[in-house]
Amino acid sequence: MSDLQAAFVGVGEIPSGRFADRTFMGALVEVSHRAIRDAQLRPEDIDAVVLIPCLHSSDDQADLIFSRVVEELGLNRRAHFNFMVHSGGSTSDNAARIAASLVATGHARNVLVAQADRWGSAPVEEMIDMLSGYGIPREWERPVGLTFNAIGALITRRYMHESGSSAEEMAAVCVALRDWANLNPNAMYRDRSLTVEAVLASRKVTDPLHAYECPMLADGAAAFVVTSESDARMRGEPWVALAGSGGVVSHYSIGQEAELAVLGWPEAARLAFDQAGWEPQDVQLAEVYDSYAAVLAIALEGIGLAPVGEAARLFAAGTFSPGGRLPVNTNGGLLSAGHTGVGGGTALLVEAIRQLLHRAEPLRQVREIQRAVVGGSGGSYMDSQVMLLERRT
């Protein structure tokens, strides 16, 4: 194996929630510095900046595109690259692949990947308008009122039909994620408990979804650093390797997806496991996109971490909760850590790296963790992306 194989060596994150006084660029610079320090590097060691979009402001988006972060970090004439990657909820997976490729091909030595958004503090009406239209076909689906909550409801209803899962079992997914969020100081709902009864008593948003089954929009920021295995090895610290990766784009319009209760997860997982030489039973931790409970359940089944049709029941049995057999979304996921836009997937990836570096808080740290799976999906779940990460020393 080449010494230029990529190594994930540091992460940064700040609390998610609503922070009206926290500036967008300030948050982005802060998490960048945290990730760089966590990687035991200095800002001047960074020679490539890969940015994950914000969706709350076109002006802030333009600042990302046109290298303001490079200037804020003092990297003028030091950074070789500044660019943005965007594929919705799967952006972090693709940004990680690109950062790893830059290192593995020798085009960069230390790559910073950073994201911030202000979904919680942005005007609610503007966010609703955006989420009612982005990625939904203008010709056929948007005119009849299809929104992302409606898409989530369609997928949930189909999954419940196919699996025979009850409303209580679907609500148990949200409760398990809240239990993890209670252990995460950065989670939006870190200090609020949740029960199945409370989920089902919350107002109906789009049948069969209740309010507590929909992700809450949040401000948030996260970042990670990728370097080479040779540099990581010289420092004598553990690092995280990308052992395998797979993805499939299954549709654009949700109306063209014939299997709402399957999506593209089985194909993506097969590619990743074949590349890594792993089997699903080798996975000790899963951090998988969870904008709705059914989206997470379908992904876990497609990846092979739960029998088909059984994921929601396993959540209800405590299998994926703190103390369970397989920890899932240990930061609380989008449903309880907060939906930070495109950054929801970034937070899950950062959590996987943190866990594999053994740097999570003691109550949340998965013991002796060596291997993890990360899963992302963008738009109307148009793609399924699977990355297999492994701790190395």
Residue 90: which CATH number?
A: 3.40.47.10
Domain count of the fold of the chain? 1
Residue 242 lies in a domain: no
Biggest distance spanned by C-alpha atoms of the chain: 59
Q: Do the beta carbons of residue 48 and residue 99 sit within 8 Å?
A: yes
Whether 333 and 352 have beta carbons less than 8 Å apart is answered as no
Q: How many CA atoms lie within 13 A of 284 on its CB side?
A: 13
- Does 363 fall in a domain? no
If pLDDT is split at 50, 70 and 90, which confidence band does 86 have? very high
In percent, how much of the chain has pLDDT > 90?
A: 91
Question: What is the three-class DSSP state of 239?
Answer: strand
Three-class DSSP category at 80: coil
The answer to the question of residue 25 being in a domain is yes
pLDDT band at 229 (very low <50, low <70, confident <90, very high): very high
Q: Place 1 in a pLDDT band, splitting at 50, 70 and 90.
A: very low
The token duo for 90 is 């799967």
The one-letter code for the residue type at 216 is M
Tell me the two tokens of residue 29: 């610079």
Helix (H) or strand (E) holding 206: strand 204-206
Reduced 3-state DSSP string for 139-184: CCCHHHCCCHHHHHHHHHHHHHHHHCCCHHHHHHHHHHHHHHHCCC
Considering Cα of 197, then 198, then 204, then 205, what sign does the dihedral take?
negative
CA 101 to chain centre: 20
The answer to whether position 54 is within a domain reads yes
Whether residue 342 lies inside any domain: the answer is no
What pLDDT digit, counting tens, does each position of 133-159 carry?
Answer: 788 888 889 888 898 999 999 999 999
The pairing of strands 219-228 and 6-17 is antiparallel
Beta bridge partners of 117: 220
**Residue 68: exposed, middle, or buried by beta-carbon count in 10 A (0-12, 13-18, 19+)?**
middle
**Residue 111 included in any domain:** yes
Question: Residue 22 falls within a domain, yes or no?
Answer: yes
Give the residue numbers spanning the domain of 82. 6-122+218-235
Specify the pairing of strand 371-376 against strand 111-118: unpaired
Overall average pLDDT of the 282-296 stretch: 98
Residue 2 has pLDDT above 50, yes or no: no
Q: What is the pLDDT of residue 3?
A: 53
Q: For residue 84, what pLDDT is reported?
A: 97
Is the pTM higher than 0.95? The answer reads yes
276 found inside a domain: no
